[in-house]
Each structure stands twice: as structure tokens, then as C-alpha cells.
Amino acid sequence: MAQTDFKKLGLAVVETELASVSILRQRIDDNFSRACELLLNCQGRIVVTGMGKSGHIAGKIAATLASTGSPAFFVHPGEASHGDLGMITSKDVVIALSNSGNTAELLTIVPIIKRLGVPLISMTGNAKSPLATEATIALDVSVAQEACPLGLAPTSSTTVALVMGDALAVALLQARGFTEEDFALSHPGGSLGRRLLLHVADIMHTGDAMPTVKPEATISAALLEMSSKGLGMTAIIDHAQRVLGIFTDGDLRRTLDKNMDLKMAKIEQVMTRNCITVDAHDLAAKILKLMEDHKINGVLVTDQDDRLIGALNMHDLLRAGVV
């Protein structure tokens, strides 16, 4: 048997699907804009439906819409004609996917959808099909050829439909002004939720766990405080707990280069003044970016009167799963 060139076969599939997706540029037209406006102004839910492989893509589109600020769910067209049509209300908008535009299960429920006065957006590969002609807005997701050499298995057509669905979802996301925090509210679990929902107050060290010294303390005393608290830094505070500066491992290296007497010199002589401080209500992800941008490993947390209320370092962010 001749050896199969799997690389060549795989690349052919990628090239075919890339060409199909590339044509979508021409399909982001006035119909696409009208569809977005219809979905944006929807007072109910976006109902996405499709049969077979189109149904799998419809489910993914519904999930993407729902997680990006556009409430949506998937309805199986076969089940819809046996009672699930009751899930659709007159305030909803329906998106129906069918490459042929002739899927019997979809065409069965189209008259009921129209009788309810529900706007219908079709995504088909045949602009003259019954589904496309009956739709309020028809989006063209046709492809020149499937990546399957038999032209039978939905490949390019499902990819193009998925990309069109993503285009709708992301356009709506931006039109709604959807933020990272909004996204996190629908993704509270796992590392994504931790990264987007965790606040500084949730992970900072407080009370006796905060490394602090007064400005008149010696450098050696400050080093002992840093060592005992294990954060690689100490805050220098006045008697009212207001932050005067910070002393870090980096400051220590620079101090050693000056050959200062660590037992005699005061920490106020070598501390970094006007140091970066953060708010306890800041998102931990925001502080991670701040630390990366300024190339620092720790920050102090202060209240509105510049009083020290907490401290955290990069290891705290790592342990919390933010990094």
C-alpha cells in the first residue's frame, strides 16, 4: 500500500476552509447590519435552531451569544414541533441554520414562527431556498465546496456558519459595551472566573501579616521585618498608618552597592518614596498588569487617606490562579 500523505490531505482541508471563510468578507453587508440591529433590539431571547450538524453549530452560536451579553438558547427543531415551540414568545428573535435551506423540521415550524410575529433570521447556503425566502433577513453562508472530497460531510459550510455566528455575537458584544466584568459574571467558575472576578481585598495580607516599619527604623530592622513576613518588601508608615514609602528586595540590592552600614542607617534614607499603591476594590487581574508594566513584584494597598490596609505580591496572584 502506498503511504498516505496525511500532511498534504490536512493542508488541503485547511486551504479549502480558509478560502470559504475569506469569501465571508463580502457577506458582512447591509443584511448583516440589519440582523445585528434586530438582535440588539430584541426584547426577549434569541432562539437559535438547526438540525443535524447545523444544529451543533446553532448550539455553539447560542452559547456564544449568551456568554457575551445577548441572552440566547438553542431549540431543537424536531422537538419544537412537539411542544417546545412554547419556549418561543412574540418578543424573541429566531436564527435558523440550514445549509440547504430545505430542512423539513425547520420548514415545519416556520409558519408558526411567522404567525407569532417573531422575526426570523436565516443562515443558509441557498438564497432561493424556502427558508431564505421566508426569512425576515437572510444571511448568505454558502460555500463553493466542502472540504470533504466527497462533497457530503458538512465541513466548509459549518465552519462558515460558525464564523458568521461569531461575527454577530462579537458585533453585538461591542455594541452593548460589554465589559470584562460583565463577561466574568457569566463565567464564575474556573480560572477565567478567578482572573476576572477576584479583587485585591480577596487575596491581600492584612493586620499583623503586613510588613511595616517606621521611618526611623534601621535598615537591618527593616530586613528582619521583610524576612519574617516573607513578601519581599516592607511598607514604611508613619504613626497614623499612612504610607511614606516602600523598601523591596530591589532596593536592598541597590543599598548594598552603596556600602552603607545596615545597622546604623535609617530606612527612610533608602526607601522608595511615592511608591505605587492600589485600591482594595481593584480587580486582581488589573493589578497583575500593573505589576508587569512597572516590573515590580509587590504592591501596597491603601485606603482613600493613604493609610496602609494590605499588601500582596506576585506569589499571591499565582496562588489565587490569576496568573
122 and 212 share one domain: no
| Model pLDDT for residues 125-181, shown as the tens digit of each residue | 999 999 999 999 999 999 999 998 888 789 999 999 999 999 999 999 999 987 766
User: Does residue 301 fall inside a structural domain?
Assistant: yes
User: Does residue 187 fall inside a structural domain?
Assistant: no
285 and 140 share one domain: no
167 and 215 share one domain: no
Does residue 1 register a pLDDT over 60?
no
Q: With bands split at pLDDT 50, 70 and 90, how would you rate the model's confidence at 90?
A: very high
**Residue 21 belongs to a domain with what CATH number?**
3.40.50.10490
pLDDT at 152: 79
157 and 275 share one domain: no
Question: Domain of 93?
Answer: 6-178
Q: How far is residue 202's CA from residue 303's CA, in Å, rounded to a whole number? A: 15
Q: What percent of the chain has pLDDT over 70?
A: 94
112 and 167 share one domain: yes
pLDDT at 80: 84
Mean pLDDT over 109-131 rounds to 95
pLDDT at 285: 84
Of residues 151 and 281, which shows the higher confidence score? 281
- For residue 323, give the H/E element and its range: none
Of residues 12 and 323, which shows the higher confidence score? 12
Q: What does 30-96 look like in DSSP terms, one character per residue?
A: HHHHHHHHHHHT-SS-EEEEESHHHHHHHHHHHHHHHHTT--EEEE-HHHHTTTGGGG--TT-EEEE
50 and 143 share one domain: yes
| Model pLDDT for residues 221-267, shown as the tens digit of each residue | 999 999 999 999 999 999 999 999 999 998 999 998 888 899 999 99
Supply the mean pLDDT for the chain: 91
118 and 173 share one domain: yes
Q: How far is residue 284's CA from residue 286's CA, in Å, rounded to a whole number? A: 5
169 and 240 share one domain: no
Does residue 204 register a pLDDT over 50?
yes
Q: How far is residue 122's CA from residue 140's CA, in Å, rounded to a whole number? A: 8
Closest by alpha carbon to 35, among 65, 78, 75?
65
User: Does residue 285 fall inside a structural domain?
Assistant: yes
pLDDT at 27: 93
- For residue 300, give the H/E element and its range: strand 298-302
Structure-block grid coordinates of residue 30:
447591509
- The count of structural domains within the chain is 2
Mean pLDDT over 48-70 rounds to 95
User: Does residue 277 fall inside a structural domain?
Assistant: yes
68 and 157 share one domain: yes
pLDDT at 192: 63
pLDDT at 195: 66
Query: Pairing relation of β-strands 212-213 and 233-237?
Result: parallel
pLDDT at 188: 59
136 and 210 share one domain: no
pLDDT at 178: 79
